[in-house]
Amino acid sequence: MVKRGLAITAAASGAGKTLITLGLLGALKARGVAVGAAKAGPDYIDPAFHGVALGGGVSVNLDAFAMGAGLIRQLAHRQNSDTLIIEGAMGVADGGKASTATLANILGVPMVLIIDARGVAETAAMLAAGLDKMLKTHFANTGIAGVIVNHCRSPRHLDMIRDAMEAVGMPLLGGLPSAEALAIPSRHLGLVQASELLEHGNLAGIIAEASAQMETHIDLDRLLALATPLAPPPTNNAITALPPPAQRIAVAQDAAFAFAYPHVLDGWRRGGAEILPFSPLNDEAPDATADMVYLPGGYPELHLDRLAANQNWQESLRALAKKSVFIYGECGGYMVLGQAIIGQDGVRVPMLGLLDVITSFAETKLHLGYRQLECLANVPLPQNAFGHEFHYTTCMEQKGANLFTARDKDGTDLGAIGSVRGSVCGSYAHLIAAS
């Protein structure tokens, strides 16, 4: 159970939070610290990178918008570590209720501010001190406890920043030189998946180098001393994000269907469900005794021909649908349940045909944001839930009943979304927690 924690944040996206978090996790683990990881918000990809840096550990999503304080504290305390490093999202206060600052305040932990020093010197201290003052005006349980400076040009540059930090009483934990070789490749939904970089790239080398940079340039003992005890978990230890929708749940798990929240699967297990993994990319059929099939999101667009050619998994799902087994897909999983997916080249690739939906990568538009969802169908999903959408594909054709009505984060009505046919349903929204 976690004893203490801190959050890694920045004034804006692009300051280096992910690489610095990975480096810190790797360096602390190498020192023998029992360290764990979490990610603020609904991001799927960063937690997978955290897991690699931890040598196979699991990083959990903590979402201040979609989760209640009790659930957040319970999930944080359940991590198998003494010290929890939480990677923030965007800028420190971006997202309002969903912000890193709100999450840190719920957990009662301080934040370490990453400052990109390209084009700034003494002003960095004013930025850190000003943010700390504003945060303490609005939050009782968090603030800026220390600073890591990224992209220092020279020792003189770092000395200028250090002197200014000392003048305002802000601890400077160290400064990192620019290391362009540490960049992680990205694609339209964010970073390339950790599993891909482990297999075809240099992720292990990137993490090792980032860890060495932290050991060399950051005062890790001082950073650890900033971590504080987490706010206590609720006395009711049985809170779950989503109740198990079935007893035996077959879950697609491979490079095409990698976006299943660990806290959801863990909650289902704790609720008594059995998780039965299978791989559509390897043409594996879901367990024939499953009473639910879950197709998470991911990157099916990178594997369309292979998914279409693999007939065993397709015929098995169609057979389960004929038996009225509950089949549920999210985002990419929803798309493959449809009649076809149109690739970026404009070629129509047949899919499972279990929903009257056709989606396209040829005509792209960004759909991004939290969703407040009300279930319209008689299916074993929560009546009301929080979810999140992040996709560029377009739904070209949809027939039949809808699965949800949706509102955005601010309550604006987005109309009906998703599709239902018999025991099969899905939508672009990824469910995070019941509301």
Residues 6+ apart with CB under 8 A from 163: 122
Q: Which residues contact 199 (CB under 8 A, 6 or more apart)?
A: none
- 425 catalytic per annotation: no
Q: In whole angstroms, give the CA distance from residue 61 to residue 79.
A: 11
- Give the helix ranges, DSSP H, for 184-248: 194-200, 203-217, 220-226
Which of the following is catalytic: 331, 375, 395, 425?
Answer: 331
> Residue 415: which residues within 8 A CB-CB, separation 6 or more?
405, 406
- 3-state secondary structure (DSSP) of residue 201: coil
Residue 425's H or E segment, with its range, is: strand 424-427
Of the candidates 29, 107, 112, which has an alpha carbon nearest to the alpha carbon of residue 75?
Answer: 107
Residues 6+ apart with CB under 8 A from 159: none
Sequence-distant (≥ 6) Cβ neighbours of residue 309 within 8 angstroms = none
User: CA-CA distance, 121 to 430, in Å (whole number)?
Assistant: 42
User: Which residues carry out catalysis?
Assistant: 331
